[in-house]
Structure 1
Amino acid sequence: MSRPRRQHPALAGIDEAALAEFRAGIRRRYSDEQILEQLRASAERLGRSPTMREFAADPGAGIHPQTVIEHFGTWNAAKRAAGLTPRRFISREELLDQLRELGQELGRTPTARDLDANRKRMASKSLIWHTFGSLTKALREAGFDVPVGDERLERAVENGAVLARELRRLPKMADWKDARKRRPELQSEWQVYRLVDMDAGPWAAFQFLVRERLLAEGVTVHPDGSLA
């Protein structure tokens, strides 16, 4: 027989009518025309077609940019529907701001996969590549800690040692792939593979480097790769 679920005292004290009114408020829906009117009014106040960032910062606009996107599919589609000309030029600083905002939402450094997942509100990867030369350069300019050159291999070995401690053995490529699903900030297993510049057995060489790091940290690694 299941035990009755205890209700937190704070929940028991909620006024149901007040809660219903609150829910109705946060679930308020705008018509397409109301959203378009907000866009036109914001453009008039700014004196130009607003970017998502400008619209979000406009105190006269009472709608979040994401609501606009949910109604029209993309930000530029909404502006076209409002009779506004989408801004073809995005400044370098605006691109950096987009990366910083995305990183703040994710709580980590954005990846190319994150850009794809948020393409409705982010500049295209090709534009970022064209402007900065690479995503890595753009992220570093935006203030993110992105390793380059020898730093990338050092970071991979460091992460490999952490993963080995979790697994209690040296990580295989499949282990790394699984770990990246939980920690998207990790380099892909193939990126790590290519970091080890050897003709044969790059992953075994990487495991050797991880083993050497663990040994230096006082961890016993058996010949089969398992940890004591």
Structure 2
Amino acid sequence: MPRKSVYRAVADIDRQALAEFQAGIRKRYTDEQILAELKQSAERLGRSPTMREFSADPKTTVHPQTVIEHFGSWNRAKRKAGLVPRRFATREELLALLEELGKELGRVPTARDIDEHRGKLPSKSLYWHTFGSLTNALREAGFDVPVGEERLERALEQAVRLSKRLGRLPKFADWTEARKTDDSLLTEWQIYRMFDARRGAWSTFQFLVRERLREAGVEVAPDGTIS
């Protein structure tokens, strides 16, 4: 039962007439229009918007409460718009998004890729929190992601091939340049981290590459050139 107003003018309002007036004056939005506004706001923000961010977006015309009235909850509306809620995504949703990103890129997604696709994907920290690491999430999503000794072995195999192509042991800059045309290469920073990113990490990697080349019968000069 509505509370009695202290103002006579309000108390005397014809409730049915008021309801009809309100129904006519309110702007009506279709579900499609609301979802489009959510997507556009996410694109402007570069991430999936919170209710406060959506409300503060000067280019939105829909009130967050209207979104909730249409879809039952804010997070349900964002899911309908293809925007996974930043804190409430399920494991299955997180894995499905990784799979979709991998198909779009044509390779295994990296942490940088996730950052560059914020708005479509939640933050990489949510993957780490949910799966323990991004590597675990990628492997669970079906990607071939080497870990530990397997990763180092792959890096050495890649470095041996690159060395033969260059005619010398690869420098950091060589590796960076090679990755521009070969996404299968581990990133130079992944290699650095295998050696705890300490001083001399890259030269330690080069030493292991030299040893692998020598085992294959390839001569490596002191300056790193091979013959």
Give the TM-score of the pair, scaled to structure 1. Answer: 0.62
Report how many aligned residue pairs link the two structures.
Answer: 172
Partner in structure 1 of residue 31 of structure 2: 37
8 Å contact 2:169–2:206 — kept in the other structure? yes
- Unaligned runs of 5+ residues in structure 1 are 1-32, 41-49, 51-64
Q: Which moved more, 1:183-192 or 1:159-168?
A: 183-192
8 Å contact 1:156–1:192 — kept in the other structure? yes
Alpha-carbon spacing, 1:200–1:91, altered in 2? closer, same or farther (3 Å): closer
Q: Aligned letter for 1:151?
A: E
Partner in structure 2 of residue 192 of structure 1: 191
Where does 1:142-181 land on structure 2 (aligned, <5 Å)?
142-181=141-180
Higher Rg of the two aligned structures: 2
Separation in structure 2 between the aligned mates of residue 127 and residue 197 of structure 1, nearest angstrom: 24
Q: Aligned letter for 1:164?
A: S
Q: Aligned letter for 1:69?
A: K
1:83 to 59, 64, 67: 67
Separation in structure 2 between the aligned mates of residue 82 and residue 100 of structure 1, nearest angstrom: 32
8 Å contact 2:167–2:225 — kept in the other structure? yes
8 Å contact 2:95–2:137 — kept in the other structure? yes
> What is the RMSD of the two structures over their aligned residues, measured on CA atoms?
3.3
Cα displacement (A) at 1:116: 0.6
- Unaligned runs of 5+ residues in structure 2 are 1-26, 55-59, 76-84
Separation in structure 2 between the aligned mates of residue 170 and residue 188 of structure 1, nearest angstrom: 16
Q: Secondary structure at the match of 2:154?
A: helix
C-alpha distance after superposition, 1:114-146 (max 9, x if no partner): 001100100111211111111111111111111
Partner in structure 1 of residue 20 of structure 2: none
Cα displacement (A) at 1:208: 1.9
8 Å contact 1:153–1:195 — kept in the other structure? yes
Separation in structure 1 between the aligned mates of residue 117 and residue 197 of structure 2, nearest angstrom: 36
Alpha-carbon spacing, 1:210–1:126, altered in 2? closer, same or farther (3 Å): same
Separation in structure 1 between the aligned mates of residue 196 and residue 42 of structure 2, nearest angstrom: 48
C-alpha distance after superposition, 1:147-171 (max 9, x if no partner): 1111121111111112212221101
Where does 1:99-114 land on structure 2 (aligned, <5 Å)?
99-114=98-113
Separation in structure 2 between the aligned mates of residue 143 and residue 37 of structure 1, nearest angstrom: 34
Q: Aligned letter for 1:135?
A: L
Partner in structure 2 of residue 54 of structure 1: none
Separation in structure 1 between the aligned mates of residue 177 and residue 225 of structure 2, nearest angstrom: 18
Give the TM-score of the pair, scaled to structure 2. Answer: 0.63
Q: Which moved more, 1:171-180 or 1:138-147?
A: 171-180
Q: Aligned letter for 1:133?
A: G
Give aligned-pair identity as a percent.
51
C-alpha distance after superposition, 1:16-73 (max 9, x if no partner): xxxxxxxxxxxxxxxxx99953267xxxxxxxxx9xxxxxxxxxxxxxx8x9734763
Alpha-carbon spacing, 1:124–1:193, altered in 2? closer, same or farther (3 Å): closer
